[in-house]
Chains A and B, each alone.
Chain A
Amino acid sequence: MNPTVTQIEVEAPLVARKARPGQFIILRVDEAGERIPLTVAGTCPEEGTVKVIFQVVGATTEALNHLREGDALQDFAGPLGTATEMNGPERVCVIGGGVGCAIAMPVAQELHRIGAAVTSIIGFRNRELLILEDEFAACSDRLIVTTDDGSYGRHGNVTEPLKEMLTAGEKFDRIIAIGPLVMMKFVVAAAKPFGVRVTVSMNPIMIDGTGMCGGCRITLVQDGQRVTRFACVDGPDFNGYEVDFDEAMSRGRMYADYERHAYEEACSLFRKA
């Protein structure tokens, strides 16, 4: 789809029948591989297929990116997590950042299908990384594209058009923000003065994804109390005002060194091959 983002379609009839927007799957590429969670980008129940969009960020996604049409994955399990809340006709602002747009897109499509008025803001670092513009255009009453460097659409990040609309008196029943943690944190900060509900989609490190290991825990602050929740079964969607983003960002970097080495090794392995 762009130099670092790839879409695959996987034959998985049981998952295709059940998956709803906002849910994820866990896959392994090969026998020794790690389990990684990826969000469902779309399904075709009739054909029994599930679409998954991923960005190459490490060894496992690098290996995934080297599969060819017709290859098989070692494992593919889901759908996991709870689906994004759908309330029928309401005014929703869907905000996607980078590869997070792959998760935001089926949410916007479903909102549109059930009669919600959808405003979409999708942001990318630059024009080269732009994905899913046509898909968003088709399911949005209004679409704003931003790039950090101004090479396409509006110059700047996704929070600026949001702030402008809210300041101008635009009313949303809720905002759904899906993207890098820092983007979601700033969307929450931008929406706060206006009291609009913000749902964010968390994507922490996971292993089993079924409520067993506890690695995906995040901290919510509810009425001044810090409470632990598990993204795999309680999420991945959470009330953005309650999430401790700084902690989530720190926890996401737990294996940063290890991941960089593994990625470099994987890349050199594939270069040789």
Chain B
Amino acid sequence: MPIQPKKHEMPTQSPEVRAHNFAEVAQGYPVEIALEEAKRCLNCKDRPCVAGCPVNVRIPDFIAQIRQGNFEEAYQIISQSSTLPAVCGRVCPQESQCESKCTLQVRAKMEPVAIGRLERFAADWHNANAAGQPAKPAPNGHKVAVVGAGPSGLTCAGDLARKGYQVTIYEALHTAGGVLVYGIPEFRLPKSIVAREVETLQGLGVDIETNVIIGKTLTVDELFDMGYEAVFIGSGAGLPNFMGIPGESCKGVYSANEYLTRSNLMKAYLDKPHTPIMKGGRVAVVGGGNVAMDAARTALRLGAEKVYIIYRRSMEELPARREEVEHAQEEGIDFRLLCNPTEILGYANPDNPRDPKNGFVTGIRCVRMELGEPDASGRRRPVEIPGSAFELAVDTVIMAIGTSPNPLIKNTTAGLEVNRRGGIVVNEDGLSSREHVWAGGDAVTGAATVISAMGAGKQAAAAIDRALMG
């Protein structure tokens, strides 16, 4: 039977419906479609997809198990390499990783196998059907501290716990998950799934201490005094960047971090939330990454009548995942490409300095751009078109233009080398300039993907094991 040239479609909520709710957009393959999609895998000998995965999941092996109907076995194969299968199946950029190497795409010019969707299928099947927890590994007598319960920290902790290490994760916020709980919205990654993955880790014996800020409540040096033999720093993204244009302090201007944290972590999207957020109205999101897409689609679901994405380059350079961009377009987000904000406009009543409307956003002024010569990043540099200024009337502006690493640990850890941008300097194993201190994820690289942070956590776990076990 010939191979179907296209991936099996992912069932999704229709755009008109989902634009008004926070339920998950993509609903997952049913069993019969998963079985069909698994048949598309050629099970090639050289396994290029495995090399394309930052944590080297044995992809053809788990797909072979799905094809045979052994869904739990498929999950077990994934979980040997990945701490967070249900998360990765949803948020990994497979199109630029495993799936981009798929022989179907590279050699046969077909769509690749839907590896991500199958991974999610196996993980969801396990979460719905498998009973009980994996057995706690026998302790090896060594203690490791992990800073931050985000993707890199959870992965590092999981790998070490499976080897018998006694691992404690210190988390600054009140809930474990890092960007998976404060950043990525419910409609893309339900928080119950994150909680389930965290529980699995706790079942392995990982201790999670929330509300402990390393660099403040405790320092890295104190962790060693407490008997930890190694420390992994996965403290994540730090302070949000702003453009430095007039009006960014107006009421109604958010960083994407703040906007998403209010909605996701603090549950401002629910009815009668305790934590407020500006809902409805007209919203402009500045930036073109996945975070910008998340913010724009959150704004829509919070009741905005109009949502713009303002990005200074063209669709070709837009860094967000294609799937997210397509979903956003289907939902009616208005992409204003090759546009750059120059000023945020605020209300000012000339007759009444006490007018409560004073200082609230009324609009955003932009200029149109065209693409010039390639810059240092290899992308064509946007250049302003003279005389092209225009204004959009909005009440809320969300800046999604990146973050710089958090300064708290750097400032309190002597001998910890950081680069010009504040990222912790590490070698290929994730080892920092401090003995027995490893680091990974956004704290090292600046804003990147969940899976690359997991890859770094995994690498560091292996290196910590080599260092402590000789």
Contacts and interface: CB of A to CB of B under 8 A. Distances in A.
A77 B211 contact: yes
A15 B249 CA distance: 32
Most buried by A among B240, B242, B252: B240
A185 interface: no
Interface in A226-273: 228, 230, 233, 244, 247, 250-251, 253-259, 262
Contacts of A256: 356
Interface string A64-98: 00000000001111111000000000000000000
A59 interface: yes
A76 B274 contact: no
B261 A213 contact: yes
Contacts of A258: 276
Interface stretch (A32-40, A41-49, A100-108, A129-137): A32-40
Nearest to A258: B276
B266 interface: yes
B274 A77 contact: no
A211 B404 CA distance: 10
Interface stretch (A110-118, A189-197, A214-222): A214-222
Interface stretch (B67-75, B195-203, B212-220, B459-467): B212-220
A233 B407 contact: yes
A214 B258 CA distance: 6
A210 B211 contact: no
A171 interface: no
B223 interface: no
A42 to B, nearest CB: 18
Q: Among the interface residues A214, A244, A253, which one has the most CB atoms of the partner chain B within 10 A? A: A214
Interface string B248-265: 110110110110011001
A142 interface: no
A207 interface: yes
Interface string B161-184: 000000000001110000000100
A34 B173 CA distance: 12
B235 to A, nearest CB: 9
A257 B279 CA distance: 13
Contact of A77 (B174, B242, B249): B174
The interface residues of chain B, by DSSP majority, are classed as loop
Contact of B218 (A14, A35, A215): A14
A211 B275 contact: no
B237 interface: yes
Interface in B309-363: 356, 358-359
A210 B275 contact: no
Contact of A210 (B213, B242, B267): B213
A228 B266 contact: no
Nearest to A77: B211
A212 B254 contact: no
Interface in B127-142: none
A164 B211 CA distance: 46
B432 to A, nearest CB: 19
Contacts of A9: none
A33 B216 CA distance: 23
Contacts of A15: 217
Given A208-B173, A219-B249, A213 B274 contact: no
Contacts of A18: 216-217
Contacts of A154: none
B258 A213 contact: yes
Contacts of B211: 75-77
A80 B213 contact: yes
Contact of A207 (B212, B252, B266, B358): B266
30 contacts: A14-B212, A18-B217, A74-B174, A75-B210, A75-B211, A77-B174, A77-B212, A78-B217, A79-B216, A207-B262, A207-B266, A207-B275, A210-B173, A210-B406, A212-B182, A212-B236, A212-B237, A212-B238, A212-B257, A213-B261, A214-B240, A217-B242, A228-B242, A247-B359, A251-B249, A251-B359, A253-B359, A254-B252, A259-B276, A262-B276
Interface of A: 14-15, 18, 28, 32-35, 59-60, 74-80, 207-208, 210-215, 217, 219, 228, 230, 233, 244, 247, 250-251, 253-259, 262
Interface of B: 172-174, 182, 210-213, 216-218, 236-240, 242, 244, 248-249, 251-252, 254-255, 257-258, 261-262, 265-267, 273-276, 356, 358-359, 406-408
Given A60-B274, A75-B174, A211-B407, 14 more contacts: A18-B216, A33-B274, A35-B275, A77-B217, A79-B217, A210-B172, A210-B173, A210-B408, A212-B406, A213-B257, A230-B239, A244-B249, A247-B359, A262-B274
6 A-B pairs with the lowest CB-CB distances in the bound complex, closest first? A77-B211, A250-B359, A214-B255, A213-B258, A214-B240, A254-B251
